[in-house]
Structure 1
C-alpha cells in the first residue's frame, strides 16, 4: 500500500484541472468517527466539485460547502478526542462542512504521508478557487468554465467525449428547463457544426451560450442606446440616470474602457445587433485578478464562441416608476466633460470604443456593477475614532454549536466566528479539575478547557481582520483558578493581551480607537471591586490582596492596584452621594407616617437588625466573592460594571461597560431611548439574547444598533433572520468586524435624530438565473419530479424607531405591482411583498414585476434598514427559501444589478443570481 502513495502517481488533466488520477479512481483512507475507525474508498470529482465515499447513505461533500480544511497539528484536538496516536498527526485531515444548514465534520487518516499531501494540495486548490468565486460575481470566465465542465459531466456518461440529443434532454431536466422539444432540438442543431448528431465539448459550449440567451438584457441594451452607438456618452448617461452612480467622468471612462471594444472590430456585426444572442462572457481585453495554482490557470482557459441563434421574441420589461431617459438629451449634458476627459488622457480617438451587446452583458454581471457598495477586503471607514463610535461584530455563547440546553461546548464555535471576522467572543468560565473550563452553567452542555479556547483565539483572531478582539468573560470560578486563568491568558496571548493602558496613560478620558488597538486582545469581565452588588472597602482590598497566591508584587499588579484605588475612591464617592439621597427619601417617608393619626406605631413594619453575635434572630450572610488582583490587572479598557441606570445622576468612567439582556435593553429603550443613545456615544454597551431562547434563536439586532449599542451579541450557531441581518451589516467595511456608526448616533447634534423621512423602494424583479436544484438530506440533487415553481419575496426590515408601520397618507403614492401581493408582516417593522409564481422553471424564470415597499427612516440612518430577497418554491409547504440575499440600504447600489444568491447558511451559490432593478423614492 505504501507504493500507492508514491509521488510518481500519474496525473490526468480532467475538466481542464490537473487532478491526480489516483484521487479520481479512488483512494483508501481511514475514516474516523466516535463509533469506529474503518477503511473507506474516497473519490475526488473536480468537475462536479465534490468528494464522495462508499457509504450506505451515500457519502458526499460539495467543495463549496466546505467551511474549513484542517490538517496535522491544526486538527490535533480532534485526534486527541478520538484517542488516535500522535504518529497519525502528519496523515490526519479534517473537513468542516455544512449539509442542510447543519455543521458536520469528516475525519480521515491517509495510509501514507504522500497520499495525504496529494489530497491536501489538490483539495486546497479547488477550495480556494471556489471560495474566490463565492465572494460576489467576479471572475466570470472561471465561473462559466466550471459550470460548463460540471454539466458536461452530467450529460456525458460515456468515454467518447460526445453527447447526443438524449443526453442534452437529460441535462436540461437536471437544470429545471422544461423547454419545447422542437426549440431545444433547433438549438442542438445550431451548435452541431458538423451535423453528425453529436456535440463535443466545444459544440457543447456553443449550445450552452444559446441556452443562456438573455432577451431581457438585449431589450435593455437597445432601449438604452436608442438609435445611436453605445459609446462613452451613452454609458455615462446610463450610469448617472439609471444606476445612480456618483463616480466622476474619469472613473466611469476607466470602467467603460475595461469592457468596450473598437468600433472597427465590430462594424461587420453592426447591422446584426437585433439578432445577436447575449452571452455573459468577458471580452478579450478584460483582465481578472490572478489566482495561484495550476487549477485556476487551467480553469481560466477560454473557449471559442460559436454560431448564434435568433433568440425568442422580446419580453416586455416593466421598468421602475422613473423610466430610462432618452440618450440624446443626456448625451448633450456630458459631451463637454467627456471631450475634456478624453483629450486630457491623451487617448487616440480615431477608433472610438463602443459597448457591444456582449460587453454590456458582461458589465452588468461584473464586480464593477455589484449591488453591494462595499467591496471585500476594502477597509474604507475611518478607523481612528474611539471604540464607542463603531458597531462591533459580536457573538453570544460562542462555545456552543447547538442549543443552550444540551449543546456541545467546543473550540469550533470560536474558530467559525473568528474566521468570519467576529470581534467579540464570550466565555462562561467555571472551576475545572486542574484548570478553568467553559460551559453553559446549570445545563447539560459539555465542557471545554479555557486553555484550548485561548489557543484557538490566539491562532485565528487576526486572520480575517487586524482589529482588536474583546473576550467577554463571565467568571464563576474561585480565586485559585482565577489566578490560573490570568496566567493562561498571559501565557497564550503574550504581548497581544492588553494589560495596561497604551502609553501608560492611566487617566484617559476616552477609549482608544480600533487602529490604536490593532492586533490586540482585551478581556472584559465584571470587576467586583467596583460592582455595586459587591462593594469593597479599602480594607477588603487589602485582605484580598493578602490572600492572593502571588508572592511578589509585579509591575502589572502595581498598575492594577493604582487603577483599583482610583476605582474604589470613585465608587465610594458615588455610593456616599447615593446614600445621602436615600436617607432623605427615608426621612420624608417616616415624617409622612408619623403625621398619620390612624396609624399606630405597632403597624409600622420593623426590619429586625442583623446580628452576627449570639442572642436575637440571626441572619445568614452570603459569603463574599473574592476576585484575583492578577485578573483585575487584565481589565483595562473593558471593565464590566452593573448598570445602575442611565440618567444624569449616574456617572460611568470611560472604561465601564455593562451588559444588558434583550429584555432589560428593550425596557431602557422604551423608557429613555435618547438617554441610552447619549450614553453609547462615549461608552461601550453589550446586549445579549434572553436565556429563554433555549433553541439559540436570535433577536433582530438592528433594533439595538438603533440605540447606539456597539456589542449586540448574536448566536452564531443559528442562521435565522437575526443572524442574516447581522451578517449583512458586517459585510461592510471590508468585512473587518468594525462598522462606523451613523453620524446621528455619534454626534451630539440632537437635530439629526429629529429628522424623520418617508420613502418607498421600488423593486423590479426581472429574472433569475440557474436557481439551485432541490436537494435531499444528504445534499444530493433531486432529479426526478424536481421542477421548481419559483416566486420571490421582498421585505424591508426597519428598526422600531416609530410605534407603528409607516403607511403613506396618500394611497395613490403607494402602488405595489398589479401582480404582486402583500404578505402578513412578521413584526410591526417588517413589510413584505411577493411576486407571482413561475411554473416549472428554475433555470431562467422571468417575472418583470415591480413591488413598491414603504419604509420610514430616522436621522438618515439607511445603514440600519435592511432589504431582503428570498426565492421560494411554491411546492414546499413551509415555503423554505431556495436562495436569499440581504443588504443594508446604506450599501445598496440602485439600478440594474445581479444579486448573488446564498443558501440557508449564507454561503454563496456559484451560479445562481437574481436580476433586479431598484430605486428609492423620498416622499417627505
Structure 2
C-alpha cells in the first residue's frame, strides 16, 4: 500500500466507506433496491452487491467518478423526494456518457460520510502526479488479476494478466523479467514486486535512444545537456536555461540527481509523459485570448436539442443532458418549448415520442449550472411553439428564476453599433428568440411564426411576419401559427431571431443584434455559392447552424465547413459521440475550455475578402509543412476485454480545415501489440490555412475482414501544437481520458517555399 493510500484510510469518512454500508440504489420511482457498497483496501475501487445475491457483484473505480451531488439533485431522486428526505440522498456522477448512480443512505450521518468520503477520494486522484497515477493503474491491474485475493501472483497468472493488459510477449523474456522481479524468491510476485516487473516491462528503448543522443555518460542529462535538448528538439529557445532547472525540480525522482542539477532517464521519461511534454501548448490550455471583442468575433460552443440524452424520435428528455453539455463548456443551449396540459410549458422534441420535462425545471437547472465551467455568457436559444398565455408563463419563469443573471436591458442604454464582448457579458444569460420590433423602438404586437420549426417542414424555412414587406403583412397574419407574448419579447436584447433575406439585404439593413438560423443544407449551399459574403456577414452578426430535421438518429454534420466561413453558433448534438464532437471538443479545448474561441484576424475584418476555397489570394498567405514521425504507442486499451485477442494498432492523422487542407494518412498496423507498439513512420502534410485547421489523431485496431475498431483519439487546433518529441494522451469515444494510453511522436513545422 502506498503511504498516501494509508493516510487516506485514516480519514473518519473513508473509514465508513471501508467498513461498508447498505444503500438503497434508485433507478426510478418504482425501482428501489438495497445494495451493499464498500471501498476496497486499494482506496480506489468501490464494490457493491445485492444483500441476497450469491456471487453477483460489481465494481467501479473512483477515477470514473466526476462528482458527488448532495440531496435531490437528479430527476430520479426528485421523483422520490416525498419518500426520502434530501439529507439521505446523493448522486455519483460518472465521466462521459455513463449514467448516474442515485443512492439513499439509512441515516443523514451515513449519507454525509459517503458524500465527503468519495469527494476526498476524487480529490486524491486529481492531485496525484504522473508517477502516482501510473503506479495506481498498475496496482488496479494487479487487483483485477489476483482472483483468489492472496496478494500474490504466480507466473501463470502473470501471463494471463499480460494478455488482459494487451501484451503479447515472448514467454522466455516474460519469465526472465518475472525472476528478476521476484526478490523474495517465492516463485510469485507480491504487489510491489509486480510494480517492479511492470517497470522493467515498460522500459522504453525509443526514449532511451533520445536520452543517449544528449547524455555524455549515458546515465544522466546535466543541466546544460537538458538545455541543449530543449533548444534543439523542443524549440524552447527563449526559456531553456530556467526551464531546464524547473523540469528537474518537477520531474526528477532521484534526490541525488537533483542535487547534481541533473536528470535521470526516469525523470526524462516522466517529463515527456507529463502535460508539459504533451502535444498541446501549455500556454494555450488556460484562458489567454482577448475577450473584449464583439460576440460576433468568436466561435461559440453550441448544442442542438440540448434536452435529449439519445435520439430525437424516442430519446429521453432530461435535465441531466443540460448539465452534461454545460460541464463540457457549451455556451449556447437549445430549449424546445411546447404548451403543457396544465398551463405549464414543457420541453421536448415536438410530435415525437420523446419524454417531456417542465420548462421551469430546465431554467432552474440553467441557473445552477450555467457558470460552473465558464464565466462567459450563456445564450439560451428558444424554439418557441407555445400559445401567448404559456409564453407569458415562460417569461415569468425566466425573470423570477434567473433574476439578475438574465440580461434584459442594454448594457449602457445605447442602441449598439456592434455586439458587446464576452468580457462585458460575463455571468449573464442571453435569450435568443423572436422580438417585437427592434431595440430602437417599440412596435405593436405582430403575428409571427417560429424561425426554425424543422420537424414539420424539413429544411424549408417559414418567413416571419415582421420580416416581410409591409404589403404582405395582412395576408400573412391570417396564416400565422402563433402570436408572440410582449413579456417574452421584452426579454430579448442582443439575440433577436430574424429570417434571412440574403447577404445583400443584410449588408444594407441588418442590425448587429439581429441573427438568423440556417439548416445545415442551406448553410452548405451558401458556403459554396457565396463564401466571402458569409464571412463578411459573420463579422458583424451572429449566425446559428443546426442539423437537418432528417437526422432522426441525432447524428451530426461536420462543423468545420461552418467555422470556415466564421459561423459562430454551430450547434451539434452533444449526446452523440463521434468525429464531429471530437472536432468540437478539439476546437474548444483551448482558451481555458471557456466555450469561446477568438476567430482569426482575417475573419474579423468587415471588409475581408477571405473565402475558404481561395487560399492563394489571402494576404499574408503562408502555407506550412507539417511532419509527424509516429514513433510508438503505450498501453493502448483493448477493444473488447472479453476476447483473448490482442489489438493490431495503426495510427491515422486527419487534417480538417479549408477544402484544400482536408487530408489524412496512416501508418501500417502492428500485429498483436497494444502494449508498446513501435511504428517509426513519418506522415507529411501541407496546411494552407493553419489558423482554421484541426488535427485529429486516431488509433484503430486493424481488421482486414471488417471495419477497423476505434481505440482512442485526440484532436487539437493546429495553432496549439508543440513541436519536438511529444506525447499524445488519448481519449475515449466519449472524449474522456483513458490513462495511461498515449502515442509518442516527433513533430516538425516549417514554412513552404511558394
Match 1:240 to one of 208, 215, 231:
231
Q: Is the 8 A contact 1:431 1:481 kept in 2?
A: yes
CA 1:524–1:193: 2 relative to 1, 3 Å: same
CA 1:487–1:762: 2 relative to 1, 3 Å:
same
Tell me how far apart the structure 2 counterparts of residues 635 and 254 of structure 1 sit (CA, whole Å): 52
How far is the alpha carbon of 1:360 from its aligned partner?
1.8
**Contact residue 47 and residue 150 of structure 1 kept, 8 A:** no
User: Does the 8 A contact of 1:788 with 1:875 survive in 2?
Assistant: no
Partners of 2:285 and 2:72 lie apart in 1 by 28
The answer (yes or no) to whether the contact 1:497–1:520 under 8 Å persists in 2 is: yes
Partner of residue 71, structure 1: 70
Once residues 644 and 480 of structure 2 are traced to their aligned partners in structure 1, the CA distance between those partners, rounded to angstroms, is 68
Deviation at 1:283, TM superposition (A): 4.3
Q: How does 1:331-730 map to 2 (within 5 A)?
A: 353-374=261-282, 378-432=286-340, 433-505=342-414, 507-529=415-437, 575=469, 621-622=478-479, 625-647=482-504, 650-730=508-588
Partner of 2:688: 857
In the superposition, relative to structure 1, how do residues 472 and 103 fare at CA in structure 2: closer, same or farther (>3 Å)?
same
Distance 1:732 1:721 in 2: 18
Q: Equivalences for 1:172-251 in 2 at 5 Å?
A: 172-225=162-215, 230-245=221-236, 248-249=238-239
| 1:916 Cα offset (Å) | 1.2
Larger Cα-atom Rg: 1
User: TM-score w.r.t. structure 1 length?
Assistant: 0.72
User: Are 2:252 and 2:263, in contact at CA under 8 Å, matched by a contact in 1?
Assistant: no
Choose 230-239 or 878-887, whichever is displaced more.
Answer: 230-239
Cα deviation code 1:327-355 (max 9, x no counterpart): xxxxxxxxxxxxxxxxxxxxxxxx86333
1:53 aligns with 2:49: yes
Q: Which moved more, 1:883-892 or 1:513-522?
A: 883-892
**Cα distance per residue 1:529-558 (max 9 Å; x no partner):** 469xxxx995656x99xxxxxxxxxxxxxx
Contact 1:789 1:875 in 2 (8 A): no
Q: Is contact 2:655–2:693 with CA below 8 Å preserved after alignment?
A: no
Change (3 A) 1:358 1:65: closer
Describe the shift of the 1:58–1:679 C-alpha distance in structure 2 as closer, same or farther (beyond 3 A). Answer: same
Query: Distance between the aligned counterparts of 2:192 and 2:315, measured in 1?
Result: 52
Distance verdict in 2 for CA 1:640–1:285, change over 3 Å: farther
- The worse-fitting range, judged by mean Cα deviation, of 29-38 and 714-723 is 29-38
Rounded Cα–Cα distance in structure 2 between residues aligned with 1:429 and 1:726:
26
- Count of residue correspondences: 716
Q: Within 2, Cα distance between the matches of 1:258 and 1:530?
A: 57
Conserved in 2, the CA contact under 8 Å of 1:188 and 1:207?
yes
Would the alpha carbon gap of residues 159 and 411 (structure 1) be closer, same or farther in structure 2, given more than 3 Å must change?
Answer: closer
Correspondence 1:302-313 to 2 at 5 A: none
String of CA shifts for 1:887-913, please: whole Å, max 9, x gaps.
221111122111111111011012111
Structure 1: distance between partners of 2:430 and 2:56:
46
The answer to whether the Cα contact below 8 Å between 1:499 and 1:635 also exists between their aligned partners in 2 is yes
**SS of structure 1 residue aligned to 2:565:** coil
Specify the SS of the correspondent of 1:885: strand
CA contact (8 A) 1:530 1:641 kept: no
Output the TM-score relative to the length of structure 2: 0.87
Show structure 2 runs of 5+ residues with no match. 449-463, 612-616
**Cα gap change, 1:152/1:114 in structure 2, threshold over 3 Å: closer, same or farther?**
same
Whole-Å separation in 1 of the counterparts to 2:281 and 2:317:
37
**In 1, are the aligned partners of 2:47 and 2:57 still within 8 Å (CA)?**
no
CA deviation map 1:192-242 (0-9, x unaligned): 334343444443332222122111101111123467974444434433332
1:656–1:202 CA distance, 2 compared to 1 (3 A): same
What is the SS of the residue equivalent to 1:171? helix
CA contact (8 A) 2:624 2:749 kept: yes
Contact 1:873 1:882 in 2 (8 A): no
The CA deviation at 1:465 is 0.6
Structure 2: distance between partners of 1:538 and 1:125 = 57
CA–CA distance in 2 between the matches of 1:879 and 1:128? 37
Q: C-alpha displacement at 1:697, in angstroms?
A: 0.7
Cα distance change, pair 382–760 in 1 and its aligned pair in 2 (3 A): same
How far residue 377 of structure 1 moved from its aligned partner, in angstroms, is 6.6
Q: CA RMSD in A?
A: 3.4
Secondary structure at the counterpart of residue 417 of structure 1:
helix
Work out which of the residue numbers 104, 109, 115 in structure 1 matches 2:110.
Answer: 115
Deviations 1:788-819 (A, max 9, x none): 2222222222333x5xxx6xxxxxxxxxxxxx
Report the Cα offset of residue 772 of structure 1: 1.3
Q: Could you say if the C-alpha distance between residues 717 and 284 of structure 1 is closer, same or farther in structure 2, counting changes exceeding 3 Å?
A: farther
Report what 2:724 is aligned to.
Answer: 895
Alpha-carbon spacing, 1:633–1:284, altered in 2? closer, same or farther (3 Å): farther
Which moved further from structure 2: 147-156 or 415-424?
147-156
